[in-house]
């Protein structure tokens, strides 16, 4: 470089500086931008792979989900088979008489409180029907009757149980209790006609 003239040396320095500026411009303008784009593409590709894995897992588990849905549907159908029909009073009287055959519980009277909407849950598809029954039984027998009844029929509940000594029994049946309770049963919804049947 000592042999170059000052003018040539300045031109060489200028060319080197311009070359460095052009290279820096190319790097920051093109290469760095391309690297950022490649990183974005790699991230979106990984996200797409994750979504594909989720879809594949869902497809693989769809048979299990269908089997679970069928099992729940069959269980619901079994519960609905034991639900009250539209004529709630007649159904309830027959239902209680049949259940009471194996228990020494005397049911003396059935009083209907009628059907009402189930307001415990919003948009619940079932109505409820309530019958008040009165009768007489020993404490142990009544307790077994209620426990077996509620355990066997989850869609029917005993509510508002009142107990008192039974004044209508003779001296040989001392210890019997008079009871009064509400039996609340869910009413099976009637099938609504489909749109095709209406046409």
Q: What is the 3-state secondary structure (H, E, C) of 63-115?
A: HHHHHHHHHHHHHHHHHHHCCECCCHHHHHHHHHHHHHHHCCCEEEEEEEEEE
Q: What is the pLDDT of residue 86?
A: 66
**In tens digits, what is the pLDDT along the chain, a chain of 199 residues?**
457 788 888 888 888 888 888 888 877 777 878 888 888 988 999 999 999 998 888 888 888 888 888 888 888 777 676 666 666 778 788 888 888 888 998 888 888 877 776 666 667 777 888 889 999 999 999 999 999 988 888 878 888 999 988 887 767 777 888 999 998 888 776 654 444 444 4
Whether the predicted model's global pTM rises above the 0.75 cut: no
Spatial CA neighbour of 180 closest among 91, 120, 106: 106
Residue 91 CA, chain-centre distance (Å), reads: 29
The three-state secondary structure class of 178 is: strand
State pLDDT tens for residues 12-38: 888 888 888 888 887 777 787 888 888
Burial of 185 (0-12, 13-18, 19+ CB in 10 A): buried
- Round to whole Å and give the CA distance between 107 and 130: 16
State pLDDT tens for residues 179-193: 999 988 887 766 544
Q: What is the pLDDT of residue 47?
A: 92
């Amino acid at each position: 470089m000592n042999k170059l003239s000052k003018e040539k040396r300045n031109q060489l320095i200028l060319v080197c500086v311009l070359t460095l500026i052009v290279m820096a411009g190319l790097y920051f303008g093109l290469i760095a931008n391309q690297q950022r784009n490649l990183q974005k593409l790699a991230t979106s590709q990984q996200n797409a792979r994750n979504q594909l894995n989720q879809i594949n897992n869902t497809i693989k588990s769809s048979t299990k989900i269908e089997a679970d849905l069928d099992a729940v549907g069959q269980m619901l159908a079994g519960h609905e088979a034991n639900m009250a029909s539209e004529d709630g009073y007649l159904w309830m009287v027959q239902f209680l008489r049949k259940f009471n055959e194996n228990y020494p519980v005397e049911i003396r009277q059935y009083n209907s409180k009628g059907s009402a909407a189930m307001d415990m849950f919003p948009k619940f598809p079932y109505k409820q029907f309530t019958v008040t029954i009165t009768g007489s039984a020993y404490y142990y027998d009544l307790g077994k009757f209620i426990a077996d009844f509620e355990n066997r029929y989850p869609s029917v509940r005993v509510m508002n149980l009142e107990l008192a000594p039974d004044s209508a029994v003779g001296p040989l049946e001392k210890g019997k209790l008079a009871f009064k309770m509400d039996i609340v049963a869910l009413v099976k919804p009637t099938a609504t006609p489909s749109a095709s049947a209406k046409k």
